[in-house]
């Protein structure tokens, strides 16, 4: 009963924020206008990836040492989604990224037996000092084959040991560690009767840090459509089909300093602020999909600038907004355009389908996925794969 009433409360929050949208849209439009007058930042080249890295995705910074780690699923090295006859030529790899732009392969991920493929995407350090990596298998098999892998680290070096911590996710996309829990976004829950649906999974430290290690079993989650709902699945929100025909749900996830989770839909750019309180989960829609932005890929909160940054894969753009301290039903993100460019091969550092970023000091380091979908500014994959940098004020 408790769960049902919380879901109802969440639905009401979302509904009410819809109804108060008009006023907030005007606020949002004004901030875009203001940003347009301000000159946009020019993304510059940070790194050219080696020839065996075709399409990077996830990026994270060690909270202990500041070392930067990148995942490269290498989706560009083979056939497109759901065509097992055309496997990727290159495995997914983990790379270490230096502040001098050096990118060095440090680990190859083990393929899933059922698909023979690896799909490493979002990653994060947990309190045990190990890296937890989303292994997105949805592009090869859409029946709940995605995993969370644990890369056992010795400081900033992978030991070579990789364990399977979670199985049964559908499109595991981004990961974040907060308040002794691992949070993972799922972009396609594939629930019958829903156009699309994104989910947020959470795994407490006492389960996730040992799962799949020694004699402790891997956590096997249930598909979202099964009742009763898996206890780890905290949030489910329906995603509608966007004007470019994309129904993808939650993509990036990040926590601001007050513990609010910010996330957004890849399909239509709807943005959400989510608070996990003792009395339940509260969900606020802080940007109506397609009203200003139409795509939210990776998302990152930077404490120094106190801003949340959005990688807009569709527009080759970076947006920012200030976290909203006093969230109410009509709270809307005041979006500011930071950088944008047209279709490019990325060789000069221009944004080439940005998908994740981190901020180190005043440098925003941006990953260019460069794996186009219909309706994006980026029309084709072109070597080499690149990372961009923007100097923030």
Q: Least CB distance from residue 60 to Ca ion, whole Å?
A: 12
Q: Least CB distance from residue 158 to Ca ion, whole Å?
A: 22
Encoded one letter per residue, x for contact with Ca ion by CB under 5 A and - for no contact, window 119-158 reads ----------------------------------------
Dihedral of the alpha carbons of 129, 144, 285, 360, in degrees to the nearest 10? 30
Q: Least CB distance from residue 297 to Ca ion, whole Å?
A: 5
**Long-range contacts: 374-378, Cβ < 8 Å, 24+?**
374/244, 374/245, 375/243, 375/244, 375/245, 375/246, 375/314, 376/244, 376/295, 376/313, 376/314, 377/314, 377/315, 377/316, 377/342, 377/343, 377/353, 378/313, 378/316, 378/343, 378/344, 378/352, 378/353
Residue 312 found at the interface with Ca ion (CB under 5 A): no
Euclidean distance between CA atoms 50 and 384, whole angstroms: 8
Q: Least CB distance from residue 196 to Ca ion, whole Å?
A: 15
Euclidean distance between CA atoms 161 and 202, whole angstroms: 24
Q: Least CB distance from residue 23 to Ca ion, whole Å?
A: 31
Give the nearer residue to Ca ion in terms of CB position, either 56 or 212.
56
| Window contacting Ca ion (CB under 5 A); options: 88-96, 99-107, 233-241, 243-251 | 243-251
Give the nearer residue to Ca ion in terms of CB position, either 199 or 346.
346
Site for Ca ion in 326-385 (CB under 5 A): 345-346, 352, 370, 378, 382
- DSSP bridge partners of 283: 274
Site for Ca ion in 281-310 (CB under 5 A): 297-298
**Count of residues in contact with Ca ion, rule CB under 5 A:** 10
Q: Least CB distance from residue 174 to Ca ion, whole Å?
A: 5
Tally the residues of the chain.
393
Q: Least CB distance from residue 40 to Ca ion, whole Å?
A: 19
Among 163, 167, 246, 251, binds Ca ion (CB under 5 A): 251
| Residue whose beta carbon is closest to Ca ion | 346
Give the nearer residue to Ca ion in terms of CB position, either 158 or 346.
346
Dihedral of the alpha carbons of 344, 349, 354, 355, in degrees to the nearest 10? 130
Dihedral of the alpha carbons of 379, 80, 109, 155, in degrees to the nearest 10? 20
Give the nearer residue to Ca ion in terms of CB position, either 13 or 377.
377
Site for Ca ion in 160-189 (CB under 5 A): 173
Residue 216 phi/psi, 5° resolution? -85, 125
Closest alpha carbon to 93 in 101, 83, 104:
104
Binding site for Ca ion (CB under 5 A): 173, 251, 297-298, 345-346, 352, 370, 378, 382
């Amino acid at each position: 009963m408790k769960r049902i009433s919380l879901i109802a409360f969440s639905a009401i929050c979302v509904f009410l924020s819809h109804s108060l949208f008009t006023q907030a849209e005007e606020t949002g439009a004004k901030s875009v206008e203001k940003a347009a007058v301000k000159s946009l930042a020019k993304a510059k080249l940070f790194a050219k990836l080696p020839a065996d890295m075709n399409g990077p995705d996830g990026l994270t910074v060690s909270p202990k040492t500041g070392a930067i780690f990148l995942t490269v699923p290498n989706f560009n090295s083979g056939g497109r989604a759901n065509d097992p006859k055309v496997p990727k030529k290159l495995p997914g790899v983990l790379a270490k990224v230096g502040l001098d732009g050096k990118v060095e392969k440090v680990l190859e991920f083990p393929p899933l037996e059922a698909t023979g493929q690896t799909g490493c995407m979002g990653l994060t350090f947990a309190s045990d000092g190990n890296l937890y990596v989303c292994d997105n298998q949805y592009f090869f098999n859409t029946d709940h084959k995605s995993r969370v892998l644990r890369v056992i680290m010795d400081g900033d070096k992978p030991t070579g040991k990789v364990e399977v911590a979670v199985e049964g996710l559908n499109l595991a996309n981004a990961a974040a560690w907060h308040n002794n829990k691992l949070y993972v976004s799922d972009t396609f829950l594939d629930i019958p009767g829903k156009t699309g649906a994104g989910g947020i999974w959470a795994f407490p430290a006492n389960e996730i840090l040992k799962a799949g290690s020694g004699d402790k079993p891997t956590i096997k989650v249930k598909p979202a459509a099964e009742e009763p709902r898996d206890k780890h699945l905290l949030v489910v929100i329906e995603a509608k089909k966007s004007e470019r025909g994309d129904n993808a749900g939650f993509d990036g996830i990040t926590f601001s300093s007050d513990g609010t989770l910010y996330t957004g839909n890849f399909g239509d750019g709807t943005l959400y602020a989510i608070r996990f309180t003792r009395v339940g989960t509260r969900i606020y829609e802080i940007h109506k999909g397609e009203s200003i932005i139409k795509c939210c890929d990776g998302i990152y909160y930077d404490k120094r600038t106190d801003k949340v940054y959005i990688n807009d894969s569709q527009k080759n753009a970076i947006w920012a907004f200030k976290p909203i301290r006093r969230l109410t039903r009509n709270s809307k993100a005041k979006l500011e355009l930071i950088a944008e460019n047209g279709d490019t091969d990325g060789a000069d550092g221009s944004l080439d389908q940005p998908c994740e970023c981190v901020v180190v000091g005043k440098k925003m380091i941006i990953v260019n996925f460069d794996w186009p979908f219909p309706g994006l500014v980026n029309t084709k994959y072109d070597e080499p794969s690149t990372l961009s940098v923007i100097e923030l004020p």
